[in-house]
Amino acid sequence: MSSQLEKRIGENLAEVEGRIAEAAMRSGRRPGDVRLVAVTKYVGIELIEPLLACGCRTLGESRPQQLWPKAEALAGRDIAWHMIGPLQRNKVRRTLPLVEMVHSADSLRLVETIDRIAEELQLRARLLLEVNTSGDQAKHGLAAAQLEESLPRLAEYRNVEVCGLMCMAGLDSGPEETRKEFAELRQTRDRLRLCCPGGAALDELSMGMSGDYEIAIEEGATIVRVGSALFEGVLE
């Protein structure tokens, strides 16, 4: 591992953190109000180490099969893993004990499975509900309209805590369209708070990736998931 690469990753991280702080201030919040999930799906342990050395503590993976070996190799380190991609129901049991949060609860069946397995494992699973704001058929997620109906039921599950909502911008969306989609996630959250007050606090909004995290923060993101911007100049 060349120190050149480590240095570059440190610089990338500082740049991203600086931009996060500025976007937070523009939206009238403090830099500490927005949490960075460093997405490590492109790299192995050797390139995760420099992130940890720079103080990064929250890491995200989008595939359970990639999360498992990394989390196991780094067990005992001060890391909060976030599962940010599709979680198949048969992978819940092995994934739950390793993660602080699942961002991508995209069906009621999945939430039900997570609740059941969390009970067996005697843990409380923290979840975000993935909402399909782009209307893109290929994208995972619940339709916003479906949520009003579902949320009161989800609140009855005793072993899951629904902490908020997550979305991904449409693949073909330009900056203005992306901003609208992020605003829509925030509005959906605000509406759900009114219609289902006992349902869940829904404090967290996970939205924004390397190409659009500043827009996401301006629209209220509390968590951004950034991968490639952290590894610029490092991956070929």
Ligand X SMILES: *Cc1c(COP(=O)(O)O)cnc(C)c1O
> What span, in angstroms and rounded, lies between the C-alpha atoms of 222 and 203?
8
Q: How many chain residues bind ligand X (CB under 6 A)?
A: 14
Q: Which is nearer to ligand X, 202 or 230 (CB)?
A: 230
85 interacts with ligand X by CB under 6 A: yes
Q: Dihedral angle at the C-alpha atoms of 11, 15, 20, 25, nearest 10 degrees? A: 130
CB of 95 to ligand X, least distance (A): 15
Q: For ligand X, which is the closer residue by CB, 38 or 196? A: 38
Q: How far is the CB of 149 from ligand X (least distance, A)?
A: 25
**Smallest distance from ligand X to CB 190, Å:** 23
Binding part of the chain for ligand X, among 25-33, 75-83, 193-201, 205-213 by CB under 6 A, reads 205-213
For ligand X, which stretch binds (CB under 6 A), given 21-29, 148-156, 192-200, 203-211? 203-211
Say which residue the tokens 């005793």 belong to.
158
Nearer to ligand X, 39 or 131 (CB): 39
Q: What part of residues 151-180 is at the interface with ligand X (CB under 6 A)?
A: 168
CB of 171 to ligand X, least distance (A): 11
Q: Applying CB under 6 A, which of residues 84, 167, 202, 216 lies at the interface with ligand X?
A: 84
Minimum distance from CB of 226 to ligand X (Å)?
Answer: 5
Going residue by residue from 210 to 229, which x/- string records binding to ligand X, judged by CB under 6 A? Answer: xx-------------xxxxx
Look at strands 125-130 and 160-166 and give their pairing: parallel
Question: Which residue has 């498992």 as its token pair?
Answer: 68
| Tokens 């994208």 -> residue | 139
Residues between 17 and 76 that touch ligand X (CB under 6 A): 39, 41, 62
193-232 residues labelled b (16+ CB within 10 A) or e (exposed) = eeebeebbebebbbbbbbebbbbbbbbbbbbbbbbebbbe
Q: Where along the sequence are the contacts to ligand X (CB under 6 A)?
A: 39, 41, 62, 84-85, 168, 209-211, 225-229
